[in-house]
Chains A and B, each alone.
Chain A
């Protein structure tokens, strides 16, 4: 054990005695690892904002749309569709909305013609819709049980619509639905996973049934599943709703599009990774080269060590350990430089930093293998050196 410690200290002294040379040969693994960490970090971070958004929105939202037979107007789900969907074991929550396509919403008295040509969608929504969507209120409150029970004429505006109307927070505004005045009680935040909702006016299911005489059957369901089961749940939804009847349900997972967009450019990433590997390989050649020269320069040291009783294997191990240290330190420094570059570039480009720290040890290990591999030949050369030739006796 103490012999190994001796070996470590001899190798370490050999490196620290020639700092510039050591730094130069360490550049290989440093540049290689930094390039690989940077390549992956930068390509991932370029899409970091989308990834962050995705993480916030969740990837487990399913939207089910009533499909209806061909040509039928306003297809709907059965009235207990939410209960049927909630019976699926992987569904954590669900809420329904109903399109009231016959109701015209007029935010102002004057714009009647315009809003008849470009109608604002009116939706009857379940009271727990915001919690299923995981979208906060920008202003005011969502529709609640009191609105249903007391038949208050309340509406909530979508975020986009509120902006279009010029609705000010806390302002007392009314919206004319059909011929009735409804008071605005709140503004729902922007729904990134279903932008259609941003332009809608929301009323309670009770108002839909009683004020506008609809059957109250929903046409959209918003469903959250447990993590990892989203697609399977989406596949099970049509069956759950129709109970084996004709398939008139289309489902989609809206985060899929966002997820695809958030993927880093793989071709670019692989090209950059390959460049990093190349840098590492060239760095390895550099190590082999410089160490070979170093063995010649240090031939007198090797001869002296042999004369005082160090065996060939000790000499070889000494040089191999030097290249091992170069690999370890180069890998660590390279990883630090790579991470630093990702942070620096991201700061300038206003990216969200994404670094997969689990991959870094793999590249560091690679740098280590390359360094030790490159040190192998010089080490064998050092071990084979004849002391008699290097000591110049006589």
Chain B
């Protein structure tokens, strides 16, 4: 962690409140900075605000109060088109349920992240194929999600997340739907994604996953209760 560097993503006194008449604080005045090179996990029991945190970090949701900045840019000040562009450019999502589009091939799913970018179809094919190849899925490029195992599907999802070369990879229980062999494989890939320019954030309640990270954020009742730096793992 390099505290002198410019934070990649910054939460300042962020609250997220649901409900109109009866206010429920899913997140209460949370401040957090994520730096390039961070390899962190966010842990906590159900209802601690992890999912809300994930939505806010991924710019899928906006805070009720407080400020979220990505690369210095206040996300609340952007319109939907710019915010969507920012999300597409800087964040790569990996979900527990993989969330691949069923009627598209593996290649098509990866290409989805490269659409609407003034890119020639050929270049898009090549980049998407390279990302699949990097994760050992070159032979699966023409397969649809139903024709692949869970581990393969999650690797396609990973390829989709990294194909745009994002600033931050945001994973939601990335091994939650996988058996232990595939889970270990996916975790290995995550470790390989570590880079000084990029942050990797995994939201999980699996201690094995949390232990992979170098920095561990613990949440409870909508607040961060611990922000620890772990010993480097091999």
Interface of A with B (CB < 8 Å)?
2-3, 5-7, 10, 13-14, 17-18, 300-301, 303-314, 387-388, 391-394
Contact A305 B60 (CB under 8 A): no
The distance from the CB of B77 to the nearest CB of chain A, in whole angstroms, is 16
B94-136 interface bits toward A, Cβ cutoff 8 Å, 1 = contact, 0 = none:
0111011111100010001101111111000000000000000
Contacting chain A: which of B30-38, B51-59, B63-71, B224-232?
B51-59
- Cβ of B181 within 8 Å of any chain A Cβ, yes or no, is no
A304, B172: Cα distance in complex, Å: 13
Closest to A314 in B: B116
The distance from the CB of B165 to the nearest CB of chain A, in whole angstroms, is 13
Contact B113 A308 (CB under 8 A): yes
List B contacts of A7 (CB < 8 A): 116
- Cβ of B233 within 8 Å of any chain A Cβ, yes or no, is no
Further contacts, 7 of them, CB under 8 A, given A18-B103, A394-B173: A3-B116, A306-B60, A309-B87, A309-B113, A311-B85, A312-B84, A388-B55
B40-63 interface bits toward A, Cβ cutoff 8 Å, 1 = contact, 0 = none:
000000100011001100101100
A310, B121: Cα distance in complex, Å: 17
Question: Can you pick out 6 interface pairs between chain A and chain B where the beta carbons lie within 8 Å of each other?
Answer: A13-B104, A303-B99, A304-B112, A309-B87, A312-B81, A394-B51
A14, B102: Cα distance in complex, Å: 11
Q: Report the 6 A-B pairs with minimum CB-CB distance, sorted nearest first.
A: A309-B88, A394-B51, A17-B103, A311-B84, A308-B113, A311-B81
Contact A394 B54 (CB under 8 A): yes
Contact A394 B87 (CB under 8 A): no
Contact B80 A311 (CB under 8 A): yes
A17, B103: Cα distance in complex, Å: 6
Contact A393 B95 (CB under 8 A): yes
Closest to A6 in B: B115
The distance from the CB of A128 to the nearest CB of chain B, in whole angstroms, is 72
**Residue of B81, B95, B121, B173 ringed by the most chain A CB atoms within 10 A:** B95
A18, B104: Cα distance in complex, Å: 11
Give the total number of A-B pairs whose CB atoms are below 8 A apart.
Answer: 88
Contact A304 B84 (CB under 8 A): no
Closest to A387 in B: B60
Known: A2-B119, A7-B116, A301-B101. A309 touches B108 (CB 8 A): no
Contact B118 A2 (CB under 8 A): yes
Contact B203 A394 (CB under 8 A): yes
Contact B97 A392 (CB under 8 A): yes
The distance from the CB of A383 to the nearest CB of chain B, in whole angstroms, is 9
A391, B58: Cα distance in complex, Å: 12
Contact A2 B88 (CB under 8 A): no
A17, B89: Cα distance in complex, Å: 28
B side interface size, CB within 8 A: 41
List A contacts of B93 (CB < 8 A): 307-308
B89 in complex: contacting residue of A10, A304, A309, CB < 8 Å: A309
List B contacts of A3 (CB < 8 A): 116-118
The distance from the CB of B189 to the nearest CB of chain A, in whole angstroms, is 19
List A contacts of B198 (CB < 8 A): none
List B contacts of A309 (CB < 8 A): 84-85, 87-89, 113, 116, 164
List B contacts of A307 (CB < 8 A): 58, 60, 87, 93, 99
The distance from the CB of A183 to the nearest CB of chain B, in whole angstroms, is 86
Known: A3-B118, A304-B112, A308-B160. A394 touches B172 (CB 8 A): yes
A6, B96: Cα distance in complex, Å: 28
The distance from the CB of B51 to the nearest CB of chain A, in whole angstroms, is 3
A6, B50: Cα distance in complex, Å: 35
Known: A3-B118, A10-B115, A17-B103. A394 touches B50 (CB 8 A): yes
Contact A391 B99 (CB under 8 A): yes
List B contacts of A303 (CB < 8 A): 99
Closest to A17 in B: B103
A7, B115: Cα distance in complex, Å: 8
The distance from the CB of B29 to the nearest CB of chain A, in whole angstroms, is 21
**Residue of A303, A305, A309, A312 ringed by the most chain B CB atoms within 10 A:** A309
A301, B109: Cα distance in complex, Å: 10
A393 in complex: contacting residue of B54, B85, B89, CB < 8 Å: B54
List A contacts of B60 (CB < 8 A): 306-307, 387-388, 391
List B contacts of A6 (CB < 8 A): 115-116
Closest to A394 in B: B51
Contact B115 A310 (CB under 8 A): yes
List B contacts of A392 (CB < 8 A): 97
A2, B160: Cα distance in complex, Å: 21
List B contacts of A391 (CB < 8 A): 60, 95, 99
Known: A393-B51, A393-B55. A2 touches B101 (CB 8 A): no
A13 in complex: contacting residue of B103, B113, B121, B173, CB < 8 Å: B103
List B contacts of A17 (CB < 8 A): 103-104
List B contacts of A393 (CB < 8 A): 51, 54-55, 95-96, 172, 203
Closest to A14 in B: B103
List A contacts of B88 (CB < 8 A): 308-310
A307, B61: Cα distance in complex, Å: 11
A309, B88: Cα distance in complex, Å: 4
The distance from the CB of A217 to the nearest CB of chain B, in whole angstroms, is 86
A301, B95: Cα distance in complex, Å: 13
**Residue of B84, B102, B108 ringed by the most chain A CB atoms within 10 A:** B84
Contact B116 A310 (CB under 8 A): yes
The distance from the CB of B43 to the nearest CB of chain A, in whole angstroms, is 12
A87, B50: Cα distance in complex, Å: 100
The distance from the CB of A202 to the nearest CB of chain B, in whole angstroms, is 79
List B contacts of A312 (CB < 8 A): 80-81, 84
A305, B60: Cα distance in complex, Å: 11
Contact A313 B80 (CB under 8 A): yes
